[in-house]
């Protein structure tokens, strides 16, 4: 299937976000196709995180529309957006730091383990089955992410790279259709960045998910993305394939030229 034939999963049009007198995002349009890795790049303050927050239900956009699989999700709160299969990680890792690794993954599945209070109190067979299945999913994701040896460690005691992997596992265990990663390479060493690129590629191939990525690490962005949107001062300046974006004079001037 060619890129153009691949159906669009996420559609963002005319997105605008105003904070008082500041127009942080102005007229942003883009679409993310199924099974695509789509990156948003741009200098600091370009509006990338604000776009993420509008798409993920953390901000209500001042205007514009966000469609997920053809359904309007504009302004829906983040927990409802997540229920529809759009989940995210954060620039600064957000985990339940005092809980163990496996407990973090169990908490993420609270919607899947919904046998009710009475079932839980009396540990009915239905509840025990649901809990066993949830633990099996934990085991699967711990293994997939190379975290099995840390299963019973407090999340706070993991290295930064492992915390980032746990955050991605916590998203993936909910079976999303679209995974949003906010600067996933921040704080990682060169080897961890290579592994992150392999992980993103692998998740897309194995689970058919789409990935929307904000990232400053150009080597990761260029290596993993199918298409890239470049923003500057809240506005989109170019959307295209990595090689086209890399050589676009407007991008070099706005962003790459800074390095
Ligand atoms: N909650 C907020 N209230 C007021 N202004 C905000 C808020 N969030 C972001 N901004 C402003 O909006 C603009 C865009 O910020 P944003 O964080 O989206 O940029 P960014 O491209 O993600 O930057 P970075 O790469 O540094 O993370 C900035 O001028 C920022 O100060």
Q: Report pLDDT digits (tens) over 38-68.
A: 999 999 999 999 999 999 999 999 999 999 9
The protein residue whose alpha carbon is closest to atom 16 in ligand 1 is 47
- For the Cβ of 48 lying below 6 angstroms from any atom of ligand 1, the answer is yes
Q: Helices 160-172 & 125-144, crossing angle to 10 degrees?
A: 130
Is residue 234 left, alpha or beta, with left meaning phi > 0 and alpha meaning psi from -120 to 50?
A: left
Is 86:73 a contact under the CB 8 Å cutoff?
Answer: yes
pTM: 0.89
Q: What is the mean pLDDT of the segment spanning 120-140?
A: 79
Q: How far apart are CA 254 and CA 46, in angstroms?
A: 10
Residue nearest to atom 26 of ligand 1 (CA): 44
Closest ligand 1 atom to residue 59 Cα is 1
Q: Is it the case that residue 259 has pLDDT exceeding 60? A: no
> What is the pLDDT of the chain when averaged over all its residues?
89
| β-bridge pairing 8-19 and 22-33 | antiparallel
pLDDT for the residue numbered 123: 67
Residue 174 has pLDDT above 70, yes or no: yes
Share of the chain above pLDDT 70, in %: 90
Please report the atom of ligand 1 found closest to the CA of residue 20: 4
Residue 258 has pLDDT above 60, yes or no: no
**Mean pLDDT of the region 7-36:** 94
Q: Region 102-109: what's the mean pLDDT?
A: 88
Q: How confident is the model at residue 153 (pLDDT cuts 50, 70, 90)?
A: very high
The domains found in the chain, sorted by start residue, are 1-85+176-259 (3.40.50.300), 95-174 (no CATH)
Adjacent-strand bridge partners of 214: 40, 182
**β-pairing verdict for 178-182 and 86-88:** parallel
Mean of pLDDT values over 156-184: 93
pLDDT of residue 199: 94
Asked whether the ipTM of the predicted complex exceeds the cut of 0.85, the reply is yes
Distance (angstroms) between ligand 1 centre and the Cα of 50 equals: 6
Q: Is the CB of 45 under 6 A from ligand 1?
A: yes
Q: How far is the CA of 41 from the centre of ligand 1 (A)?
A: 13
pLDDT (0 to 100) of residue 90 = 81
With vertex at residue 99, the alpha carbon angle to CA 154 and CA 94, rounded to the nearest 5 degrees, is 95
At residue 256, φ and ψ (nearest 5 deg) are: -65, -30
């Amino acid at each position: 299937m060619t890129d153009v034939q691949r159906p669009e999963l996420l559609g963002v049009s005319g997105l605008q976000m105003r904070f008082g007198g500041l127009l942080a995002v102005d007229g942003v349009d883009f679409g993310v196709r199924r099974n695509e890795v789509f990156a948003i790049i741009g200098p600091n303050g370009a509006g990338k995180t604000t776009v993420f927050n509008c798409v993920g239900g953390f901000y209500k956009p001042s205007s514009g529309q966000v469609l997920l699989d053809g359904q309007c999700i504009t302004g829906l709160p983040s927990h409802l957006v997540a229920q529809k299969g759009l989940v995210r990680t954060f620039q600064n890792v957000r985990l339940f730091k005092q809980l163990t690794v496996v407990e973090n993954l169990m908490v993420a599945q609270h919607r899947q383990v919904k046998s009710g209070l009475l079932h839980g109190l009396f540990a009915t067979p239905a509840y025990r089955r649901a809990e066993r299945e949830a633990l099996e999913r934990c085991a699967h994701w711990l293994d997939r992410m190379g975290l099995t040896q840390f299963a019973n460690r407090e999340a706070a005691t993991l290295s930064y790279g492992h915390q980032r992997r746990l955050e991605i596992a916590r998203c993936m265990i909910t079976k999303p259709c679209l995974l949003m990663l906010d600067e996933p390479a921040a704080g990682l060493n060169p080897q961890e960045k290579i592994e992150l690129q392999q992980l993103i590629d692998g998740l897309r191939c194995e689970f058919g998910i789409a990935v929307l990525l904000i990232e400053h690490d150009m080597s990761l962005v260029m290596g993993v993305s199918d298409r890239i949107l470049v923003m500057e001062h809240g506005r989109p300046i170019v959307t295209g394939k990595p090689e086209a974006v890399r050589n676009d004079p407007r991008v070099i001037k706005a962003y790459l030229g800074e390095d």
